[in-house]
Amino acid sequence: MIILSQTPCYNPCTMDIHSLLQSLAAGIIQGITELLPISSSGHLLLFSRISHFDLGLTEIAVLHLGTLISILIAFRDQIRESLNKVVLTNVLISAVPAGLIGFFFGDYIERTFSAPAIIVFSLFVWGIVMIFVDRKSKTSTFTSKNLAEITPLQSLVVGIAQVLALIPGTSRSGITTISGIVAGIDPQTALSFSFVAGIPLLGATGVLSLYTEVSQHSTTLPEITLATITAAVVGIAAAYVFRATIKRGILTYAGIYRIIIGIVIFLSILD
């Protein structure tokens, strides 16, 4: 669930101005940073520290429903293209590793890897990798230039990358896109497959988290709803930006930005 207010909202149908602003801010941050390769967890950690309220990994999971809506709208043509046996099989192959690891070891991963220092480390490392892969891709030859040409092995590489994305600070969209590029998929196609392959995981994570929220009779359901809708609207714009700039060096700029935000978070946790 998402706890967006320090003071419990005892009336589940109302929100005060403070809760409203927190919900909007969380939704905007999620919408931008989940779909751009800059790590939603890192930014939400920084936002949490600035706002002086807690946002744990499980608390933001339901926002993936907003991300899912963004993908369904922004990549609707690619999703229609995916409705064939070959692509659907590859999507399944890419979803299984992270699905299994997340199901059986999700709690352990959250307890072990949610420390701010690990998030900072992930921001730095994958930022550097993004810069390197983006520059290398300018002179690379790609074997798969559309979704139908992606092979099961390439799908498995993307699936393994999705496992690594379970570690906060990694960025699922970023690591799956660069892993696809490294595996020989054209950058634009790698981006499209990254989002299409993420649909099962984002959907499952969001639905399970929402079920937990409702079953526990949380008093923050209005905040969650607003934050999720905001994440969906903002995420559509972010997805279009990522898709339009994938071949214009956005991974390099994202990598540089990740390093900078990593420094900011590192300095903030020293306080």
DSSP characters for 123-140? HHHHHHHHHHHHHHHTT-
Q: Is residue 3 part of a domain?
A: no
* Gap between the Cα atoms of 72 and 206, Å rounded: 14
- Which amino acid does the sequence have at 121? F
Owning domain of residue 51: 17-270
pLDDT of residue 70: 94
| 57 three-class SS | coil
Q: Packing angle between helix 85-113 and helix 187-215, nearest 10 degrees? A: 60
Question: Residue 14 burial by CB count (10 A; 0-12/13-18/19+): exposed, middle or buried?
Answer: exposed
For 1-12, give one letter per residue: b (16+ CB within 10 A) or e: bbbbbeeebeee
Angle at 196 between CA 194 and CA 202, to 5 degrees: 90
Q: Is residue 153 part of a domain?
A: yes
pLDDT of residue 59: 62
Q: Is residue 4 part of a domain?
A: no
pLDDT of residue 115: 84
Phi, psi angles (nearest 5°) of residue 185: -95, 135
Give the chain's domain count: 1
Which ranges in the chain belong to alpha helices (H)?
A: 17-35, 40-51, 64-74, 76-81, 85-113, 116-137, 152-164, 172-182, 187-215, 221-245, 250-270
pLDDT tens for the chain, 271 residues: list them: 333 334 444 444 456 787 788 889 989 999 999 899 999 877 877 787 777 656 655 566 778 899 999 999 999 999 998 889 999 999 999 999 999 998 899 888 878 887 888 989 999 999 999 999 999 999 999 999 999 999 999 999 999 999 999 998 999 999 999 999 999 999 999 999 999 999 999 999 888 877 776 776 555 677 778 888 999 999 999 999 999 999 888 999 999 999 999 998 888 777 6
